[in-house]
Amino acid sequence: QALEEQYSPSRWSPRLGRDAIIQAHLAATAAGTQRARASAQTSLHVPYGDSDGEKLDIYFPMDPSGTFPALVYIHGGYWQCLSKDESGFAAPPLVSQGVAVVAVGYDIAPKGHMDAMVLQVRRSLAFLVERYSRIRGIYLCGHSAGAHLAAMVLSTDWTEYGVAPDIKGAVLVSGVYDLEPILHTYVNDALNMSREVAQRNSPMLCVTPAVPAATACEVLVAVAQHDSPEFRRQSQEYSQALRTAGWSVSLLDLAGVDHFDIIEKLSEESYVLTQVGEELPSSL
């Protein structure tokens, strides 16, 4: 019961009740995505594979002549809800600064299972690199379950894919990095993970020693003041594990936000995580 509480992010927000906070989150991200689609040059539903979920929404920079960095956004929803279709809300402030934003779709549970989702997100990056030669430098951004998937991308052996994406940085927001506790909660009802699957897909257990390319990759692990103690513990322990393995990592503990508005605010020009994104062109 205690574990169920800890892994129910909607119970920890001081702003709104459990159902209301989720409805507000859906409304905020959907409205932000509508604004982005109205204002940016887009390629929507670009297939990177054959499955229904294997599609990308790409928001191009205002002036896409020459090369540009790309922020690849992986949505949350506990691997079983949400989609790329309301994941473009971060685009407006970034495309105006010359950064492309790519929202990744993947097959959520129960259709998708954990091994397949991790594989899909990795393949989506390989596709981007092969298809869009003007992208220079990829930055990963994932929220909640999406932060887990982005963290799994960091442990990818790219030799299997025949490409080496130039991943310059990762912003992992309110993520889950050890799936073992999830096995004992309602979240696993749809996922149906075994212990082996959970271990194989836990970023905490897949941290690779930082090779030269990885040391150039800046990882920012962000967690909300009003995330549950378990979510906060996971962020602290994962960032420490990366640091121990030689990665360049910062832990950002954001005051005054919860599990939901910590990511919704990416639609705001003045938000600290947006400013991290806006610094990408100059960091290149």
166 is catalytic: no
Bond into 181 cis (ω within 30): no
Q: What is the rounded CA–CA span in Å between residue 1 and residue 5?
A: 6
Cα 124 off chain centre by: 13
Nearest Cα neighbor of 89 from 133, 143, 138 is: 143
Active-site pick, 57, 178, 227, 261 = 227
148 is catalytic: no
144 is catalytic: yes
Active-site pick, 144, 228, 239, 267 = 144
Active-site pick, 75, 143, 148, 259 = 259
Catalytic residues: 144, 227, 259
